Amino acid sequence: MSVFHPDRLPSLSRLPKELGREERLCAGCGEATGHILYRVPKKVVLVYLKDHPENVHATCIKCARSTVLGGEERERALSLENR
Ligand SMILES: [Zn+2]
């Protein structure tokens, strides 16, 4: 039996989860590039929250710059998860 049982690693809950990918304008590259959309947990006291206003990030696959998505963009990214 492995010591590294996933269910017993609380740190896993802090890992970003990929929601999907899309082309979007990158502030770093100055052009439309592929981005990976992530839901990023936030640590509050001793627990990680899945839901908070800045939990969705888009990371450019060219320059690795991350953007926090808000409003409709955030809702749309979150809706990708359950497709
Ligand atoms: Zn970029």
Which pLDDT tens digits describe the chain residue by residue (83 residues)? Answer: 445 555 555 566 778 889 999 999 999 999 999 999 999 888 877 777 788 888 999 999 999 999 999 999 999 999 988 76
49 CA → ligand 1 middle, Å: 28
57 CA → ligand 1 middle, Å: 13
Q: Is this model's pTM higher than 0.85 or not? A: no
1 CA → ligand 1 middle, Å: 43
Exposure string of 50-69, with b = 16+ CB inside 10 Å and e = fewer, is: eeeeebbbbbbeeeeebbeb
62 CA → ligand 1 middle, Å: 5
Number of Cβ atoms within 10 Å of the Cβ of 36: 17
